[in-house]
Amino acid sequence: MVLWSQTILELRSHLATYRRQPEYKIGLVPTMGALHQGHLSLIKRAIAENDAVVVSIFVNPLQFSPTEDLINYPRQLEQDLELCRQLGVDLVFAPEPGEMNSSGNTKALNNMTAVIPPQSMTEVLCGKYRPNHFTGVATIITKLLNLIQPDRAYFGQKDAQQLAIIHRLVRDLNIPVAIVACPIVRETSGLALSSRNQYLAPAQKQEAAKIYRSLRQAELAFRQGELKTEILVNLVKQELSQAEGVKIQYVELVDPISLKPIKEIEQTGLLAIAAHVGSTRLIDNIVLQKHQPIIAIDGPAGAGKSTVTRRLAHKLDLLYLDTGAMYRAVTWLAMESGVAIDNERVIADLVENIDLKLTSPNGAELPTVVHVNGQEVTNAIRTPEVTANVSAIAAQSAVREKLVKMQQQWGEQGGLIAEGRDIGTNVFPNAELKVYLTASAAERARRRWQDLQNQGREDINIQQLEQDIQQRDERDSNRAIAPLKKADDAIELITDNLTVDEVINKIVEFYQQL
Ligand code: PAF
């Protein structure tokens, strides 16, 4: 049964039991209840990424104006608790309004200390029509973050303005939490899920679905090269002029981080809309992003590719596609399932059905967090035993095909850095920057030995490591499928005498010249 606390005292005592365990990660999903699939996607992600998950349910009076739907806002605590229980949430914090104010007086909530986001972020989009809304949100979110002190907090991209403001809030006030943005969940009609969709009659829902269709129309024009705000915004308005049931409140194109209005898209723009369908106010948005460069890092095992790639991803704000971790994950799964490493048929089945999830870690120094079929295997995939089998697995065509397809899908938007054996030759042959990172076998053995020593493995023989590395190079270069090979247009970097920082700085220079 999910634990449910209504008071701060109870909340604190539950949290104290989690905190007794060092390294325990806590995820927070703040909600106003009336949970739908959108919330559930945040909760599932939080569960996958943390040791304990707290869901808060609080219909926050501070973020409603007197003319809004505070009284009628859907409340369904029993049902929400049951959903949380089914998903495996550890704790639901569902306070009454009085509990959230130090004086314990519901009415006094309006009188509490407020957290006021920068005016430039609240005078646009919804803020124009909901004057104190974001102060109400920022105040309550600050309070929840202080109370729960989660490692990660999860918010939906549907409330893009709220998300940008919360990002700014935790930066400005140095609140030690990672804000995790989660994609919008939609009905098959395209309608973005919202607790307020409950207010819509079936015919109104059909009308409401036109909101997303209009955004997609603008996206299409953008993909075909249209960058001007005026034209993109007008496309949305034109499209919706044919939807009688939809009354636009605003359509704006702004910078997704600062929320400042833009005249045209340089790299990325947030196209956001609010509209009424009947008396229900709905919001939706789409992020229009130009294809950003892809960096492909290839090279033999142990050349420092993964450290360099991870740090570069952090430095250049690119997505890190850790393909090595993907092959390791399949290797781990085969070993865990007791399948012989050369049983290609059974391994093909395993990989076909694998539910593989990679998440960026909180720091540049940490390995990619990996889940296989719901189980966290971040460390389990990095043992010497997995290392010994990974290249045999990576040479199997079914494994290769499936994982390459996944990688290419993730790469469609660009803006990523990936490392492996065939990233520049096979996975992303059109990558804007290709680097072939290499070092002598002796140097790579020395680095690997050092790593293992640092992990407390003192039983490792350095000559043996060097031999293993040479054999692995040999296998990787000569295998039939996706052999290790420098792409013709790759820049070769030999790292024997370079520090990691020097390697990174060189690649940053190449990137800046693109
Ligand atoms: O998005 C919401 O449901 C609310 O604004 C939030 C973040 C829970 C704050 O009350």
The string of DSSP codes covering 94-120 is: ---GGGGSTT--SGGGGGS------HH
Q: If you measure from the C-alpha of residue 32 to the centroid of ligand 1, how many angstroms do you get, rounded to a whole number? A: 6
- The answer to whether position 131 is within a domain reads yes
> Residue 249 belongs to what domain range?
195-289
Do both 314 and 395 map to the same domain?
Answer: yes
Do both 328 and 454 map to the same domain?
Answer: yes
Lowest model confidence (mean pLDDT) among 157-161, 233-237, 340-344, 453-457: 453-457
Do both 383 and 490 map to the same domain?
Answer: yes
Pocket of ligand 1 (CB under 6 A): 30-32, 60, 63, 137, 140-141, 159, 162
Whether the predicted pLDDT of 107 surpasses 70: no
CATH of the domain at 31: 3.40.50.620
- 321, 335, 341, 390, 497 from 338: Cα distances, Å: 28, 5, 9, 15, 42
Q: What is the mean pLDDT of the chain?
A: 92
User: Which of 57, 60, 64 is the pocket-test mutation for ligand 1 (most atoms within 8 Å of CB)?
Assistant: 60
Do both 346 and 424 map to the same domain?
Answer: yes
First to last CA, the chain: 55
CA 163 to CA 262: how far, in whole Å? 19
Domain boundary among 289, 321, 343: 289
Lowest model confidence (mean pLDDT) among 162-171, 275-284, 302-311, 478-487: 478-487
Q: If you measure from the C-alpha of residue 30 to the centroid of ligand 1, how many angstroms do you get, rounded to a whole number? A: 6
39 is catalytic: yes
Question: What DSSP element (H or E) covers 420?
Answer: strand 414-420
pLDDT tens, residue by residue, 350-389: 999 999 988 777 666 778 889 999 999 999 999 999 999 9
Do both 305 and 253 map to the same domain?
Answer: no
User: Which of 28, 31, 35, 177 is the pocket-test mutation for ligand 1 (most atoms within 8 Å of CB)?
Assistant: 31
For residue 32, name the pLDDT band (cuts at 50, 70, 90): very high
Do both 56 and 116 map to the same domain?
Answer: yes
Domain boundary among 139, 154, 182: 182
- Cα diameter, the chain: 76
Whether the predicted pLDDT of 288 surpasses 90: yes
For residue 329, name the pLDDT band (cuts at 50, 70, 90): very high
For residue 202, name the pLDDT band (cuts at 50, 70, 90): very high
Whether the predicted pLDDT of 292 surpasses 80: no
How much is the pLDDT for 384? 93
Whether the predicted pLDDT of 1 surpasses 70: no
- The answer to whether position 190 is within a domain reads no
Query: Of 501, 503, 477, 495, whose CA–CA distance to 439 is shortest?
Result: 495
Which residue has better confidence, 79 or 101?
79
Do both 160 and 208 map to the same domain?
Answer: no
Do both 20 and 143 map to the same domain?
Answer: yes
Global confidence as pTM: 0.64
CA 494 to CA 491: how far, in whole Å? 10
Q: Report the nearest-CA residue for atom 5 of ligand 1.
A: 137
Which residue has better confidence, 420 or 53?
53
Lowest model confidence (mean pLDDT) among 111-120, 147-156, 203-212, 475-484: 475-484
Do both 346 and 382 map to the same domain?
Answer: yes
Q: Is 87 exposed, middle or buried (0-12, 13-18, 19+ CB in 10 A)?
A: middle
- The answer to whether position 187 is within a domain reads no
Do both 260 and 385 map to the same domain?
Answer: no
> Count of domains in the chain?
3
